């Protein structure tokens, strides 16, 4: 190999996380030669520092909480969790941060993997610098797909660099349980990690700048999660900003806007994400380095006919499952265009149009209680100009809730479009509700009329009967 070698492919994918893998899978299935470039581990953030390790940490915490709400079982689970075993299982789920299995999968679909840093080098070209310094240029006959994801965004606080704070990566890969942990933020990462580490034995202090938690969901979601965290022993402080941090003799000291001084062993900042586009050569194709990439519904970057941005980098929905959905759409669109097919980009249910990004994005927050939502919240629906009505039901009103957990506490809301009589959004909060959200996703994505939902009969006695209670409340 020489430093100036140029290799031609039909498609070049920049980033081998779940999104990049799915783009490659679809283009290879269509017979297109595909190269995948990865600077870290094949499998990406989700496999090693996000979805998989975080859920491995959370599952024992939530299972114990459920057991403690179950008559006849609660006495058997009074003791602490075996933190060492939980951490060992988390490490197993990440394959000990080795990507051999993911590499075998990529090879199995016939894609070529290039390890190293990839940068655009003008239209339809990606320059790859390998770990040994060797450079190659990969050219794409049809498409380059940017699937580089996001990174944690840290605030510009005095003393932050010296503190060596945790981000989501350190929070999910830590080798031991900190005695005291400060979590800064009120979103998904903050609430999930507060739940996990409090359950594993940390004394967690959660500092939230805003009025409440999970502010992108219905207000009651954050309220119920905050209440449960407090009951679990966490110190939840809303309306609290962090003005400075330092590490003194190994102890983290955070000073709040009100002058409070909080000490801990570690501090986690879960204060947002930024696109990993700052050093991928966007300037060589007239785009701004470090920016989010605007795309059409086929995931093609605005103003280009060859560049795609799939997953977090387009800022549509920073969720792994939504990125994989986009990848399937993008792969199909690339293949169709390569074959010379005309795409019906305006067709709302077309195979090449990511309409769910606008209308039916589902999400589960794996706290205790779980919070799950799809579509629009009441406030979002009203802001969008829909004439809507919110229908609320306490999930404890169904028999299945009492069987699931003694003293079950949770709430459900559906946002009904009063003119079209379809659902614009649904939110569930309560133990186990993550398994309910796909039924709501089908109702929202399929625009199922309220009249038809009456004939989707929930099994008795399950928590799914909350659907019946919601419909009854709507009809009055």
Distance, in Å, from the CA atom of 374 to the CA atom of 441, rounded to the nearest integer, reads 6
Residue with tokens 């024992």: 60
- pLDDT digits 0-9 by tens, 102-115: 999 999 999 999 99
pLDDT band at 476 (very low <50, low <70, confident <90, very high): confident
Q: At 284, give phi and psi (nearest 5°).
A: -75, -10
Domains (range + CATH), the chain: 5-43+99-151+275-356 (3.50.50.60), 160-271 (3.50.50.60), 369-475 (3.30.390.30)
Indicate the length of the chain as a whole number. 476
- pLDDT digits 0-9 by tens, 322-360: 999 999 999 999 999 999 887 765 554 567 889 999 989
- pLDDT value at position 342? 73
- pLDDT value at position 349? 53
- pLDDT value at position 341? 83
Q: At 19, give phi and psi (nearest 5°).
A: -70, -50
- pLDDT digits 0-9 by tens, 441-458: 999 999 999 999 999 999
pLDDT beyond 80 at 304: yes
Name the percent of the chain lying above pLDDT 70.
98
Angle formed by the axes of helices 188-199 and 51-68, nearest 10°: 60
The torsion defined by the Cα of 439, 440, 441 and 444, in degrees rounded to 10, comes to 130
Q: What is the mean pLDDT of residues 292-315?
A: 97
pTM attached to this predicted model:
0.95
Smallest CA-to-CA distance from 166 within 264, 42, 35 is with 264
Distance, in Å, from the CA atom of 35 to the CA atom of 24, rounded to the nearest integer, reads 8
Name the strand (E) or helix (H) holding 198: helix 188-199
Distance, in Å, from the CA atom of 235 to the CA atom of 171, rounded to the nearest integer, reads 18
Residue with tokens 């399937």: 328
- The rounded mean pLDDT for the chain is 96
- pLDDT value at position 351? 75
- pLDDT value at position 329? 96
- pLDDT digits 0-9 by tens, 175-218: 999 999 999 999 999 999 999 999 999 999 999 999 999 999 99
- pLDDT value at position 2? 46
- pLDDT digits 0-9 by tens, 131-186: 999 999 999 999 999 999 999 999 999 889 999 999 999 999 999 999 999 999 99
CB 41 within 8 A of CB 113: no
Q: What is the mean pLDDT of residues 80-84?
A: 97
- pLDDT digits 0-9 by tens, 359-369: 899 999 999 99
- pLDDT value at position 296? 95
- pLDDT value at position 1? 43
Q: What is the mean pLDDT of residues 399-403?
A: 95
- pLDDT value at position 175? 97
Name the percent of the chain lying above pLDDT 90.
95
**Buried b / exposed e along 96-106 (16+ C-beta atoms within 10 A):** eeebeebbeeb
Helix (H, G, I), strand (E, B) or coil at 167: coil
Q: What is the mean pLDDT of residues 304-329?
A: 97
β-strands 261-264, 251-256: how paired?
Answer: antiparallel
């Amino acid at each position: 190999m020489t430093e100036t070698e140029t290799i031609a492919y039909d498609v070049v994918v920049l980033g081998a996380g779940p999104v990049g893998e799915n783009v490659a899978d679809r283009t290879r299935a269509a017979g297109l030669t595909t190269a995948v470039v990865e600077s870290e581990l094949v499998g990406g953030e989700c496999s090693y520092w996000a979805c998989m390790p975080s859920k491995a940490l959370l599952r024992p915490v939530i299972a114990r909480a459920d057991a403690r709400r179950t008559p006849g079982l609660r006495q058997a689970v009074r003791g602490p969790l075996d933190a060492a075993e939980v951490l060992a299982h988390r490490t197993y789920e990440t394959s000990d941060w080795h990507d051999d299995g993911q590499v075998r999968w990529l090879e199995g679909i016939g894609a070529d993997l290039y390890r190293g840093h990839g940068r655009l080098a003008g239209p339809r070209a990606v320059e790859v610098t390998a770990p040994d310094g060797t450079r190659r240029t990969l050219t794409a006959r049809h498409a380059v797909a940017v699937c580089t994801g996001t990174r944690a965004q840290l605030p510009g606080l005095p003393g932050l660099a010296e503190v060596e704070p945790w981000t989501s990566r350190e929070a999910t890969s830590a080798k031991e349980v900190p005695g005291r942990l400060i979590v800064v933020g009120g979103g998904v990462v903050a609430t999930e990690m507060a739940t996990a580490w409090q359950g594993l034995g940390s004394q967690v202090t959660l500092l939230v700048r805003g009025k409440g938690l999970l502010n992108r969901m219905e207000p009651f979601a954050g309220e119920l999660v905050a209440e449960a965290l407090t009951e679990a022993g966490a110190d939840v402080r809303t309306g609290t900003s962090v003005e400075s941090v330092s590490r003194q003799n190994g102890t983290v000291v955070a000073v709040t806007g009100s002058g409070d001084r909080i000490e801990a062993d570690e501090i986690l900042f879960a204060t947002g994400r930024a696109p990993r586009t700052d050093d991928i050569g966007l300037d060589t194709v007239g785009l701004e380095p470090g920016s989010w990439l605007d795309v059409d519904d086929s995931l093609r970057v605005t103003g280009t006919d060859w560049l795609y941005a799939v997953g977090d980098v387009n800022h549509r929905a920073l969720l792994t499952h939504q990125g994989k959905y986009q990848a399937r759409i993008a792969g199909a669109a690339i293949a169709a265009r390569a074959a010379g097919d005309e795409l019906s980009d305006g067709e709302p249910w077309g195979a090449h149009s990511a309409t769910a990004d606008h209308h039916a994005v589902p999400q589960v927050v794996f706290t205790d209680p779980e919070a799950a939502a799809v579509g629009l919240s009441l406030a979002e629906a009203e802001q969008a100009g829909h004439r809507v009505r919110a229908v609320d039901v306490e999930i404890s009103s169904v028999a299945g809730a009492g069987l699931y957990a003694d003293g079950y506490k949770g709430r459900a809301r559906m946002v009904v479009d009063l003119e079209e009589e379809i659902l614009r959004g649904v939110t569930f909060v309560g133990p186990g509700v993550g398994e309910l959200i796909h039924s709501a996703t089908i109702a929202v994505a399929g625009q199922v009329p309220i009249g038809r939902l009456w004939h989707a009969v929930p099994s008795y006695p399950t928590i799914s009967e909350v659907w019946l209670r919601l419909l009854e409340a709507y009809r009055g």
